[in-house]
Amino acid sequence: MESITLGQYEIIYNALSFTIATMGAATLFFWLVRETVAPQYRTALIITGLVTFIAAYHYWRMFDSWSGAFVVDATAGTVARSGEKFNDAYRYVDWLLTVPLLLVELILVMGLTRAVTISKSVRLGTLAALMVALGYPGEVATDSGTRLLWGGLSVIPFLFILYELFVGLRASINSQPEQARGLVSLAIWVTVVSWCFYPIVYFAPLLFGPENANISTMSGSAAVTVQVGYTIADIVAKAGFGVLIFLIASAKSEDWRNSNLARDA
C-alpha cells in the first residue's frame, strides 16, 4: 500500500484476528457436534469443519504476513512499510480449496442418490474452482483493465452455479423433509447473497482510482475495503453457512429417527 494510517492498519489487523478466532471456534463446533446427527449426514459436518479449518489456517498466514509487512510505532501513531510484501495470495489458495467444498457439503447434507451426489458435486466443484482461478489474475493485476477483464470472466462460471442452485436443485429441494426444506432454501440463498458480495469487493478498489487495481499500490482506504469486505463475506459464507448445514442435518436426523421409531412400532 502506498500509504496507510495507524487506524486503517488496526482495522485490518483486528478483522484478520477476529476471523481466525471465528473459523477456529466454528471448526471445533462442527466436529464436536457431528455425533449428534444421523450417520449419513456426518460427512457433511466433517467437510464443513474442514472448510473453516482451512480458512482459519490461511487467515493465520495472512495475519502473520500483514503484521510482518509493516513497522508500527504506536507512540508516534505511524505505520511504515517493513520491506516485506503482504501476501494476499493466501486468500485465493483458501478459496480454491474451500469454495468447491462449500457446494459439496450442501449436496451431501441433502441426502441425494449416490449418482446425483457425485454428478452435482463434480459439476459444481469444478465451476467453483474455475470461478476462483479466473479471478486471481485480475486480483494481482497492475491495471484496472486487466482486473475488469478477469473479474468479468470469473462471473461466467458463477452464473452457471446460480443456475444449478436455483434450477438444477429445485426438484431435490422439494423432496426434502418438510422441516428441512426451508433451511435448505435458506442455505442456497445465503450462498448466493454472500457470494454476490465477493465481486462487489473485487471491483470496489477501482472506485478509489485506477492506481488501486493492485494490493501493492492501493490506498489505505481501498485496502480496508478489500480486506474487511472479503473477511465479512468469508465469515458468512463459511462459518454462517456451516451453522445452516448443521441445522439441516439436525432436522433431517430428527425426521430419520422418527421414521425409524414409527417403523419399529
Q: How far apart are alpha carbons 205 and 47 in whole angstroms?
A: 33
Q: How far apart are alpha carbons 191 and 244 in whole angstroms?
A: 11
The answer to whether residue 265 scores a pLDDT higher than 70 is no
The answer to whether residue 63 scores a pLDDT higher than 70 is yes
Q: Tell me phi and psi for residue 181, to 5 degrees.
A: -60, -45
pTM across the whole model = 0.92
Domain boundaries, the chain: 6-259
164-183 per-residue burial string, b: 16 or more CB within 10 A, e: under 16: bbeebbeebbeebbeebeeb
The 3 state secondary structure assigned to the chain is CCCCCHHHHHHHHHHHHHHHHHHHHHHHHHHHCHHHCCHHHHHHHHHHHHHHHHHHHHHHHHHHHHHHCEEEECCCCEEEECCCCCCCHHHHHHHHHHHHHHHHHHHHHCCCCHHHHHHHHHHHHHHHHHHHHHHHHHHCCCCHHHHHHHHHHHHHHHHHHHHHHHHHCHHHHHCCCHHHHHHHHHHHHHHHHHHHHHHHHHHHHHHHCHHHHCCCCCCHHHHHHHHHHHHHHHHHHHHHHHHHHHHHHHHHHHHHHHHHHHHHC
The answer to whether residue 120 scores a pLDDT higher than 70 is yes
Q: Which of 263, 262, 188, 201 is nearest to 233 (CA)?
A: 201
Q: How far is CA 29 from the centre of its chain?
A: 18
The answer to whether residue 52 scores a pLDDT higher than 90 is yes
Within 8 A by CB and 6+ apart from 263, the residues are none
Q: How far apart are alpha carbons 225 and 4 in whole angstroms?
A: 13
Retrieve residue 34's grid coordinates: 457431528
Most confident option among 70-74, 109-113, 122-126: 122-126
Using pLDDT thresholds of 50, 70 and 90, give the confidence band for residue 262: low
Would you say the C-alpha torsion 118, 158, 131, 202 has a positive or negative sign? negative
pLDDT at residue number 78: 87
Check: CB of residue 102 under 8 Å from CB of residue 130: no
Retrieve residue 257's grid coordinates: 429417527
- The rounded mean pLDDT for the chain is 90
Check: CB of residue 162 under 8 Å from CB of residue 199: no
pLDDT at residue number 81: 86
Distances (CA, A) of 260 to 193, 254, 255: 37, 10, 9
Between 100-109, 215-224, 252-261, the lowest mean confidence (pLDDT) is in 252-261
CATH for the 6-259 domain, from 1.20.1070.10, 3.40.50.300, 3.40.640.10, 3.40.47.10:
1.20.1070.10
